[in-house]
Amino acid sequence: MLDTTMDDQVSAILTEFGAALAAGDIDGTVAMFQEDCYWRDLVTFTWNIKTVEGRDEVADMLRHQLAATKPSNWQIANGEAVTEEAGVVTAWITFETGVARGYGLIRLKGGKIWTLLTSMVALKGHEEPLGSDRPLGAKHGSDKHRPTWAEERDAEARDLGTLQQPEVLIIGGGQGGIALGARLRQLGVPTIIVEKNARPGDSWRNRYKSLCLHDPVWYDHLPYLPFPPNWPIFAPKDKIGDWLEMYTKVMELNYWTKTTCKHASYDETAREWTVVVDRDGSEVTLKPKQLVLATGMSAKANMPKFEGMARFKGEQHHSSRHPGPDAYKGKRAVVIGSNNSAHDISAALWENDVDVTMLQRSSTMIVKSDTLMDIGMGDLYSERALRAGITTDKADMISASMPYRIMHKGQTELTQKMRERDATFYAALKKAGFWLDYGDDGSGLSMKYLRRGSGYYIDVGASQLIIDGKIKLAHGNVKEITEDGVVLEDGTVLPADVIVYATGFGSMNGWAADLIGQDVADKVGKCWGIGSATTKDPGPWVGEQRNMWKPTHQNGLWFHGGNLHQSRHYSQFLSLQLKARMQGIPTPVYGIPQTDHLG
């Protein structure tokens, strides 16, 4: 009876909500929200990825967007039960707009809307050919000289980029470009992905030898084709590379290997790009309408410029170019940095009989992998979650439904639980001299990732080597590099035969500067971060990842990146924005924030 009562309550609220929207009654609609409310929209109302906070912002968004959106048919999603916990009623919902079908999640407090997530699922008349709508494949009947599937694919691959121009050009063929390419393929958007490496997956294969995923398999599926049930929880880099190569082929992506982008420019009148690429030694000019930089968050290396680097007689390189430990047995290595790559590389060097010192220049958040999997992710991405009916798609939506403004509160509670569980571990790290932090506000790893994309290590073994003194620790800033080592500002000398600069990566708009021009990069501004005014995430508050997966201040320029989870989840919304533009569907964008930071 309680469930039925809650269903009736939510249905009545949705009916009232829909009626107020249909009548254009913005005041009435806003009155249905709490004062401290949050509406996160993934494309449906704003043609943007945008969170509005508080009644005033809800009202402003609706004044700009409601008439064009034409929302209707608000209902509890079929087969989904309304739930209640700690006074919060939660329901999965469906709805429509004039041009799309939507899915979302609503949370109610005291009968009023606290959080609302609205997301675009499909454009009407342009649905993906899935399930019962899948293509027949075989061509039944008889026709003379009809081409086979393989012949048609060969012709498409030959002609796209020469006889036919792509609608979308994706620069970067890693996980982000591949996931987006797969979505666009299903939506019928002619797309070319260009990749500098020789094979799909090489962006993984070419990284340091010990690299593996630190996120679990349930978090890392690609669209349409999940990993098989016997796939390892943490896949090694070469296995991921092979999966991406296979995926690219079976998803029929137009993927140009050994191709680099030389220059791109945008014609505001023609509303198209001119992009010159080098395709395996041949220059090709492409004319896409939309340009997506999917070069990744870990592609623009931050290589420091320390005094004396040119005189170092050993080998030195950024972590992104680290070949692995095999060539350094018996040598002395200094790894500058203390985040994921620094730990992975240091551990692999120690395993291969290298005398390794990690130079820690600032504090780092550490979380044990098994603790993170249990406390941090287990309720959403795990076998436990699947048994509870939380699929990967549902987990993605639950994650997306929590506004960034209040997300840190829940993450702080989870981080505190992790600290309590692993108190002995943290005490041992501190005793070893490791500089620990738990985020500026104690909100831990997830918020650090969203705010700055750095500053943490998911421990898979290196921390114990630090505790045991097998990986040596040094602290401070570099004064200079000498012929045979690193000198710190306090005068400490670290002898070295090899130096690894695990110094992180720059903003993705650096690629826009390289390929298009500094003026465009500056117009667009910094990528990543939410404006939290915490370390490396300067304010003002933005409330969404800057410039990611949504319109920017440069027409026709988009950024797609992040981990495998984000590549999967947000490729859906980016692909629908691109498809709508190809079809000429009006896409009035609301809420592109001003550019406050250049990179």
* DSSP per-residue codes, 404-419: HHHHHHHHHHHHHHHH
DSSP state of 77: P
**What is the reported pLDDT for 300?**
80
Helix, strand, coil percentages (3-state) for the chain, rounded to 5, are 35, 25, 40
Strand order in the sheet with 472-475: 315-318, 498-501, 332-336, 355-360, 472-475
The strand ranges marked E within 209-287 are: 255-256, 259-267, 272-279, 282-286
Q: State how far the alpha carbon of 474 is from the alpha carbons of 341, 478, 488, in Å.
A: 17, 11, 9
**What is the reported pLDDT for 295?**
87
Which string of b and e fits 313-342 if b means at least 16 CB within 10 Å? Answer: ebebebbbebeebeebeebbbbbbbbbbbb
Q: Using N-to-C axis directions, what is the helix angle for 237-250 and 175-186, rounded to 10°?
A: 20
| DSSP assignment string, 9-56 | HHHHHHHHHHHHHHTT-HHHHHTTEEEEEEEEEESTTTSSEEEEEHHH
**What is the reported pLDDT for 507?**
83
Cα within 13 Å of Cα(172), Cβ side: 27
Cα separation, 358 vs 338, in Å, equals: 7
Cis? peptide before 540, omega within 30° of 0: yes
pTM here is 0.95
Phi, psi of 104 (to 5 degrees): -165, -170
Q: Which of 595, 588, 592, 594 is nearest to 64 (CA)?
A: 588
Among left, alpha and beta (phi > 0; psi -120 to 50; other), residue 423 is alpha
**pLDDT tens-place values along the chain, 599 residues long:** 345 689 999 999 999 999 999 999 999 999 999 999 999 999 999 999 999 999 999 999 999 999 999 999 999 999 999 999 999 999 999 999 999 999 999 999 999 999 999 999 999 999 999 999 998 887 888 888 889 999 999 999 999 999 999 999 999 999 999 999 999 999 999 999 999 999 999 999 988 888 889 999 999 999 999 999 999 999 999 999 999 999 999 999 999 999 999 999 999 999 999 999 999 999 999 999 999 999 876 668 899 999 999 999 999 999 999 999 999 999 999 999 999 999 999 999 999 999 999 999 999 999 999 999 999 999 999 999 999 999 999 999 999 999 999 999 999 999 999 999 999 999 999 999 999 999 999 999 999 999 999 999 999 999 999 999 999 999 999 999 999 999 999 999 999 999 999 999 888 888 899 999 999 999 999 999 999 999 999 999 999 999 999 999 999 999 999 999 999 999 999 999 999 999 999 999 999 999 888 86
* Placement of tokens 């309720």 in the chain: 379
Report the length, in residues, of the chain. 599
**What is the reported pLDDT for 299?**
63
Measured at the CA of 314, the angle between CA 311 and CA 320, to 5 degrees, comes to 105
Cα separation, 180 vs 59, in Å, equals: 33
pLDDT tens-digit map of 186-195:
999 999 999 9
Q: Are the C-beta atoms of residues 115 and 37 closer than 8 Å to each other?
A: yes
Is the four-CA dihedral 437, 439, 445, 451 of positive or negative sign? Answer: negative
- Which residues belong to CATH 3.10.450.50 in the chain? 2-123
Fold of 151-299+506-583: FAD/NAD(P)-binding domain (3.50.50)
Report the 10 Å Cβ neighbour count for 159: 11
Would strands 100-109 and 112-123 be described as parallel, antiparallel, or unpaired? antiparallel
Cα separation, 422 vs 264, in Å, equals: 50
Q: What is the signed CA dihedral for 537, 538, 543, 544, rounded to 10 degrees?
A: -50
Report the 10 Å Cβ neighbour count for 450: 22
Q: Computed over its alpha carbons, how large is the radius of gyration of the chain? A: 25
SS3 state of residue 244: helix
Q: What is the CATH architecture assignment of 309-501?
A: 3-Layer(bba) Sandwich (3.50)
Q: Are the C-beta atoms of residues 53 and 37 closer than 8 Å to each other?
A: yes
The domain 2-123 is placed in CATH, from the list 3.10.450.50, 3.40.50.620, 3.40.50.10800, 3.20.20.70, at 3.10.450.50
**What is the reported pLDDT for 2?**
47
Cα separation, 68 vs 45, in Å, equals: 9
Q: State how far the alpha carbon of 440 is from the alpha carbons of 202, 505, 539, 540, in Å.
A: 36, 21, 14, 17
Q: Are the C-beta atoms of residues 71 and 95 closer than 8 Å to each other?
A: yes
Q: Are the C-beta atoms of residues 237 and 204 closer than 8 Å to each other?
A: yes
- Which residues belong to CATH 3.50.50.60 in the chain? 151-299+506-583, 309-501
Phi, psi of 481 (to 5 degrees): -105, 130
Q: Which of 438, 256, 439, 445 is nearest to 340 (CA)?
A: 445
